[in-house]
Amino acid sequence: MKKQGLKPSFFIQFGYPGETKEDIALTIRMINEHLPHEIGISVSYPLPGTLFYDRVKADLQQKTNWTDSDEMALMFSNTFSPGYYKQLHKYVHQNYHAHLATYNLLKLLKNPFKPDVKKIRKAVSVLYHAPATLIERYKLNQLEKAL
């Protein structure tokens, strides 16, 4: 698709009942392997009238809708805490941008005589995103230990 000029994007939802660390790791690996043009991340949101809603309806907490679309609040009990999913959101975004920057850096190094400002900026952003990813992963690990 990319070769045809299309810019595929992913919308990822974490937090479905029974989700494991392995499920999360596989999702992150898929993002890193495909490096979509953009990613959006949310937690599962049970909509009335869906099978998913019916499955978690009895477990819904007092909160039945989000105040803001980026709230990332789980409305039912799950494997991981709401704080974990908020941190996972930050980590996955940083990790994605670090991989994208690394990809652009490698492209630039393979063909250094065709640089442009946009490509250089993307490649150099690895200096920010790589350490930021490590920090966000550390915070996520701390939340995992607290489980």
pLDDT tens sequence across 24-55: 999 999 999 999 999 999 998 888 899 988 88
Average pLDDT, rounded, for the chain = 89
- pLDDT for 75 equals 78
Cα–Cα distance, 123 to 18 (Å, whole number): 38
pTM given for the model: 0.87
Residue span of the structural domain in which 71 resides: 2-145
How many beta carbons lie within 10 A of that of residue 92, not counting itself? 22
Number of separate domains in the chain: 1
Q: Over range 77-81, report the average pLDDT.
A: 85
Q: Residue 10 belongs to a domain with what CATH number?
A: 3.30.750
> How high is the pLDDT of residue 68?
54
